[in-house]
Amino acid sequence: MDDSRPQRKPLQAEELRSMDRYWRACNYLCAGMIYLRENPLLRKPLAADHIKRRLLGHWGSDPGQSFTLVHLNRVIRQRDLNVIFLSGPGHGAPATLAHSYLEGRYSEIYPDRGETEEGMARLFRLFSFPGGIGSHCTPETPGSIHEGGELGYSLSHAYGAAFDNPDLIVAVMIGDGEAETGPLATSWHSNKFLNPARDGAVLPVLHLNGYKIANPTILARIPHEELEALMKGYGYRPWFVEGDDPDTMHQQMAATLDQCIDEIHAIQRRAREHGDLRRPRWPMIVLRTPKGWTGPREVGGHKVEGSWRAHQVPIADPASNDKSLKLVEEWLRSYRPEELFDESGRLVEALRALAPEGARRISANPHANGGALCKALDLPEFRDYAVEVDAPATRYLSPTDVLGQFLRDVMRRNMTSFRVFGPDETSSNKLTAIYEASPKTWLAGMLESDSDGGDLSADGRVMEMLSEHTLEGWLEGYTLTGRHGLFATYEAFVHVIDSMFNQHAKWLEKAKRELRWRQPVPSLNLLITSLVWRQDHNGFTHQDPGFLDVVTNKSPDVVRIYLPPDANCLLSVADHCLRSRDYVNVIVADKQPHLQYLDMQSAITHCTKGIGIWDWASTDQDHEPDVVMASAGDIPTMEALAAVEILKGLFPDLKIRFVNVVDLFRLMPDSDHPHGLSKRDFDSLFTTDKPVIFNFHSYGSLVHKLTYRRTNHENIHVHGYAEKGNINTPLELAIINGIDRFSLAIDVIDRVPALRGVGDHAKERLRDMRIEHLNYAHTEGIDSEQIREWTWTG
């Protein structure tokens, strides 16, 4: 006997018939969305001018998804379950939209698409129509927290939603195309991080639809034994539902879902009542159905149902081809809409009863509108973690080490709504203090030796897996369901999630700007650390500060970039970000010991302004400056200050203004970004005609990109990472990229008219010093201690 298929047939004839009708209603709506602009209930014979002018949308995965939703509704009703649904398959929105519409939720939110014949016509017309409804589950889709535009993240999003939601079951449909992506392939392992006592459950439904756009899928074309082994290897208990006969499939799916829910509840009981936190084998379902199931079998002599040809629009030309029009009509009428919808166009009463009610409806579950459930973090007073700074630049400290202490106490006060994420680097990134509040989540095997500093526990709240994709997906799922978090990662490797960032920013922008019913969700906080300038020892591959360029391409409504120059500024910025909503906050701060500049009060003032003159480092008091030295980022700030110190020694009368930038978007015009400085404020800081030497953390061109419309732009000379690196010392790396104190001082001498000629000897000496330091590094393997003497000392 096959132990991967339950043998029961739980559905009574009447129930089966009703569920099948409900499913037919879904499928009818899906096909209607793709084809019809008029005559939504086919009360007239279908005519060419009822057909949309441009046929768009994806039929292929809709029936399988609808089928799953119909069956989820059954168990939700029967057991009063709390379930949300994530639709992984790229463009299968019609299925989710149809369910949402049948449940009445869609019309509650969009009253112009009511439960009437006219409302249905409008839904159909707006689908995949300019200015209308997207063909995948966009933020506009009620009940959704997952957009399938870019594939790969459904399962990690699902786990993110399940963490700390003990009563929630997150059903997630994974397309077999999506399953080929890297991010999806590794996210199966998320089950080693789900605690059955504390967290909810994830129920993956791998949809073996068989085909992608134009190809079979890998997982649909490996033998049953291999697929079963793969799922068992990933740590699941797989159940198979396979076939195409609706009646048989309904019984199979009902029995399988009953089985899975029973298993989930048994696992949770063992954990919650008996304290058994050993990693369970969570159930998952493999649903193999024909692509475009119940659609046209054959068109023009080609197989369509059960083929890649069913992926999008199965019949291409009904408006211009009578035969095709007839085929479409036959297909649509095969669902018998007259049995499904009443006179007014509303789903008949008998079928309405199959949907759950109120907030139990998948389309209305509040977890999928996470802002509605979101509670502000209980934050400790960040000033209490302040570093003493008696005088600027007299003390070295690791900023992230200080931040770790704050985060530790954030964690302690919010033990069910805050998590920290990092790819095996939380400790490397000096956030180690967090472990005092909570160990790392770990439900894979443990060894006795783990007790010695392993910091592992099923109850841990620090999430570490060597997959930036999975971590980002978890955090997105966690915040979209209304909870808070921070993801710390090596700067160079944050590019791994460029595309995930892009998609999340797009989601936030739509939700924030266009959807009043979506409540604001906690911001996604990215701490970019192990920065380029201190990846001197790891070499060229670990040096890439270009993520900021990606971030600045996204909407000003949703992205923020902060470069706190020291630990107190980092605390102030972190507190601000943890309170904010609906942003992606990118915080750039290093883990190595760095000089500290500002006491807490000054740090708060500075970070609140986001940009400002550091009087204590300037020499232009009460005068127009000869030159502005600006900086953004910790190491660039230290080098810029050291350059000022050098220049003060060389040219005591030189008027230097020192400007530091924390909030990068301050550089943009206020017309382009809400954080942008007005023309007047920018000009008063940077002057309208004096040279500005700007020492920047990232690629220099980014500063030009942000400031090219500023009055004094021609005079802004940016030093930044120039894509030069190897195994280096810190100063050597700064020198070869030209952000070091010597290069900056030379640039000042070159740019200030009064120093031309006068400064030639100094320039020569500074050039020699650059070479001396390079030689020292290459002989001794470290930077000379003398470097610290050149550091600004107040």
Cα separation values, 663 from 453, 494, 634, 677, Å: 37, 20, 13, 11
464: left (phi > 0), else alpha (psi -120 to 50), else beta?
A: beta
Quickly tell me which residue has 């994530």 as its tokens.
86
Residues in the chain: 794
Per CB under 8 A, contacts with a copy of itself among 401-430 are 424-428
Query: Minimal distance in Å, beta carbon 214 to a copy of itself?
Result: 4
Q: Does the protein bind a copy of itself through residue 177 (CB under 8 A)? A: yes
Residue among 64 and 564 whose Cβ is closer to a copy of itself? 64
CA distance 542 to 531: 8
The region of 14-22, 232-240, 245-253, 784-792 touching a copy of itself under the rule CB under 8 A is 232-240
Q: Which of 217, 289, 294, 737 binds a copy of itself (CB under 8 A)?
A: 217
Residue among 440 and 763 whose Cβ is closer to a copy of itself? 440
Q: Does the protein bind a copy of itself through residue 484 (CB under 8 A)? A: no
Q: Which of 108, 342, 498, 681 binds a copy of itself (CB under 8 A)?
A: 498
Contact present, 528 and 491 (Cβ < 8 Å): yes
Residue among 304 and 389 whose Cβ is closer to a copy of itself? 304
| Residue partners of 394: CB distance under 8 A and separation at least 6 | 595, 596, 793, 794
Residue among 180 and 599 whose Cβ is closer to a copy of itself? 180
Q: Does the protein bind a copy of itself through residue 129 (CB under 8 A)? A: yes
Q: Does the protein bind a copy of itself through residue 144 (CB under 8 A)? A: no
Residue among 350 and 782 whose Cβ is closer to a copy of itself? 782
Q: Does the protein bind a copy of itself through residue 515 (CB under 8 A)? A: no
Q: Which of 111, 130, 358, 757 binds a copy of itself (CB under 8 A)?
A: 130
Query: Minimal distance in Å, beta carbon 145 to a copy of itself?
Result: 14
Distance of CA 304 to the CA centre of its chain: 36
Coil/strand/helix, residue 183: helix
The region of 39-47, 330-338, 695-703, 743-751 touching a copy of itself under the rule CB under 8 A is 695-703
**Angle, vertex CA 437, rays to CA 449 and CA 398, nearest 5:** 90
Query: Minimal distance in Å, beta carbon 432 to a copy of itself?
Result: 9
Query: Minimal distance in Å, beta carbon 694 to a copy of itself?
Result: 13
Count, residues near a copy of itself per rule CB under 8 A:
127
> Cα torsion for 99, 104, 106, 108, to the nearest 10°?
-170
The region of 243-251, 546-554, 626-634, 659-667 touching a copy of itself under the rule CB under 8 A is 546-554
The region of 107-115, 375-383, 436-444, 479-487 touching a copy of itself under the rule CB under 8 A is 436-444
Contact present, 586 and 562 (Cβ < 8 Å): yes
Query: Minimal distance in Å, beta carbon 52 to a copy of itself?
Result: 6
Q: Does the protein bind a copy of itself through residue 449 (CB under 8 A)? A: yes
The region of 320-328, 348-356, 466-474, 594-602 touching a copy of itself under the rule CB under 8 A is 466-474
Query: Minimal distance in Å, beta carbon 457 to a copy of itself?
Result: 12
DSSP letters spanning 237-266 = EEEEEE-S-HHHHHHHHHHHHHHHHHHHHH
Q: Does the protein bind a copy of itself through residue 47 (CB under 8 A)? A: no
Per CB under 8 A, contacts with a copy of itself among 67-96 are none
| Residue partners of 531: CB distance under 8 A and separation at least 6 | 491, 545, 588, 589, 590, 633, 634, 635, 697
Quickly tell me which residue has 């967290």 as its tokens.
199
Residue among 521 and 578 whose Cβ is closer to a copy of itself? 521
Q: Which of 469, 591, 657, 673 binds a copy of itself (CB under 8 A)?
A: 469
Contacts with a copy of itself, 180-209, as mask; x by CB under 8 A:
xxxxxxxx-x--x-----------------
Per CB under 8 A, contacts with a copy of itself among 638-667 are none
Query: Minimal distance in Å, beta carbon 688 to a copy of itself?
Result: 14
Q: Does the protein bind a copy of itself through residue 54 (CB under 8 A)? A: yes
Coil/strand/helix, residue 719: strand
Residue among 431 and 611 whose Cβ is closer to a copy of itself? 431
CA distance 417 to 160: 12
Contact present, 355 and 102 (Cβ < 8 Å): yes
Contact present, 249 and 241 (Cβ < 8 Å): yes
Contacts with a copy of itself, 340-379, as mask; x by CB under 8 A:
----------------------------------------
The region of 12-20, 361-369, 492-500, 581-589 touching a copy of itself under the rule CB under 8 A is 492-500
Coil/strand/helix, residue 637: helix
Residue among 668, 653, 650 at smallest CA distance from 744: 650
Using only C-alpha atoms, the chain has a radius of gyration, in whole angstroms, of 30
Q: Which of 8, 49, 112, 218 binds a copy of itself (CB under 8 A)?
A: 218
Quickly tell me which residue has 């879904």 as its tokens.
26
Q: Does the protein bind a copy of itself through residue 147 (CB under 8 A)? A: yes
Q: Which of 44, 53, 274, 516 binds a copy of itself (CB under 8 A)?
A: 53
Query: Minimal distance in Å, beta carbon 532 to a copy of itself?
Result: 12
Residue among 305 and 645 whose Cβ is closer to a copy of itself? 305
Q: Does the protein bind a copy of itself through residue 9 (CB under 8 A)? A: no
Q: Which of 555, 602, 784, 793 binds a copy of itself (CB under 8 A)?
A: 555
Per CB under 8 A, contacts with a copy of itself among 735-794 are 777-778, 780-782
Q: Does the protein bind a copy of itself through residue 48 (CB under 8 A)? A: no
Q: Does the protein bind a copy of itself through residue 3 (CB under 8 A)? A: no
Q: Does the protein bind a copy of itself through residue 683 (CB under 8 A)? A: no
Residue among 483, 463, 554, 493 at smallest CA distance from 524: 483
CA distance 569 to 589: 10
Residue among 198 and 542 whose Cβ is closer to a copy of itself? 542
Residue among 29, 109, 24, 111 at smallest CA distance from 67: 24
CB atoms within 10 A of CB 615: 11
Query: Minimal distance in Å, beta carbon 424 to a copy of itself?
Result: 4
Beta-strand pair 298-299/302-303: antiparallel
Q: Where are the beta strands (DSSP E) in 416-566?
A: 418-422, 440-441, 456-457, 462-464, 484-490, 524-529, 559-562
The region of 304-312, 575-583, 610-618, 643-651 touching a copy of itself under the rule CB under 8 A is 304-312
Q: Does the protein bind a copy of itself through residue 538 (CB under 8 A)? A: yes
Instruction: Look up residue 116 and give its DSSP letter.
Output: S
| Residue partners of 765: CB distance under 8 A and separation at least 6 | none
258: left (phi > 0), else alpha (psi -120 to 50), else beta?
A: alpha
Query: Minimal distance in Å, beta carbon 714 to a copy of itself?
Result: 8
Per CB under 8 A, contacts with a copy of itself among 565-594 are none
Strand-pair partners of 694: 630, 718
Residue among 114, 115, 93 at smallest CA distance from 33: 93
The region of 61-69, 254-262, 306-314, 395-403 touching a copy of itself under the rule CB under 8 A is 306-314
Strand-pair partners of 259: none
Q: Does the protein bind a copy of itself through residue 675 (CB under 8 A)? A: no
- Please compute, for residue 282, the number of CA atoms within 13 A of its CA located in the half-sphere on the CB side: 27
Q: Does the protein bind a copy of itself through residue 62 (CB under 8 A)? A: no
CA distance 68 to 22: 12
Query: Minimal distance in Å, beta carbon 738 to a copy of itself?
Result: 13
Residue among 92 and 134 whose Cβ is closer to a copy of itself? 134
237: left (phi > 0), else alpha (psi -120 to 50), else beta?
A: beta
Number of H helices, E strands in the chain: 26, 22
